[in-house]
Chain A
């Protein structure tokens, strides 16, 4: 295990940054691209995870466990967020019988 970790540390930190940016952009584009509310929630999870990965990479780079504790808190917030989000989704399906995000345009004007 330690061999793998020491070799992996030769991967430049920029590559983790690139990977994280790419995942975040895919999540952002997906949230704009789809009309299905459940897919939009999943894209939010994707963005959360790209940020988590970046925090963990920086934490390992600096040898500081604080960054990983931060990732832990982001996971807690994401779990709470997805609970309420799915409850809203169930309520939306029950009230307007659709999970199309365009049905929720009454706050527009």
Chain B
């Protein structure tokens, strides 16, 4: 059964590499969805069932659909985007590889962690996570709603068309209702 972990790990890493390497943004999105589904598989193996469901709903269901929606809305599916210069790309790969080596070197003598706690089948179920969320972490939970409100307002402000008068355009200043009133 341990082989399930390695299968999911291989799927995660291969699809993550494909996200970076794919020419078309649509292919990148599909690869990233595969990667997220395999990570949800990891969560289920860790008995974090609440996280697995929330991960699938939030990431695969909402965020990736948002990415796909933006790609199709802006018609970005061109595979002929300009590439960075070869030197920059080689430098990027080297930077990632050196970063990985640094992380691995930091833990090469073991991570010095306590032995695993006794197995408790209820950790990760909705009940235990929910009790923890609404007792110990109640304030961050409420603050995160303010974060969402500000994100929503920010997205609307950024996304709406700029209807302010444009002094450089010359001639009549167009206002928002000019077309419908005339």
Contacts and interface: CB of A to CB of B under 8 A. Distances in A.
Interface of A: 2-11, 13-15, 17-19, 21-30, 32-36, 38-39, 41-43, 45-46, 49, 52-53, 56-57, 59-66, 68-69, 71-73, 75-84, 86-91, 93, 99-100, 102
B17 to A, nearest CB: 6
Given A35-B84, A45-B59, A87-B158, A8 B4 contact: yes
A14 B111 contact: yes
A63 B63 contact: no
A90 B92 contact: no
Contact of A32 (B92, B107, B119, B151): B92
A33 B19 CA distance: 11
B2 A11 contact: yes
Where chain B touches its partner, the secondary structure class is helix
B123 A4 contact: no
Given A45-B59, A49-B36, A90-B159, A63 B144 contact: no
Given A32-B96, A63-B117, A65-B132, A87 B19 contact: no
B84 A25 contact: no
Interface string B32-53: 1001100100110111101100
B101 to A, nearest CB: 9
- 6 closest Cβ contacts across the A-B interface? A29-B96, A32-B92, A30-B20, A80-B151, A63-B117, A25-B100
A75 B140 CA distance: 13
Contacts of A99: 74, 76
Contact of B16 (A46, A60, A62): A46
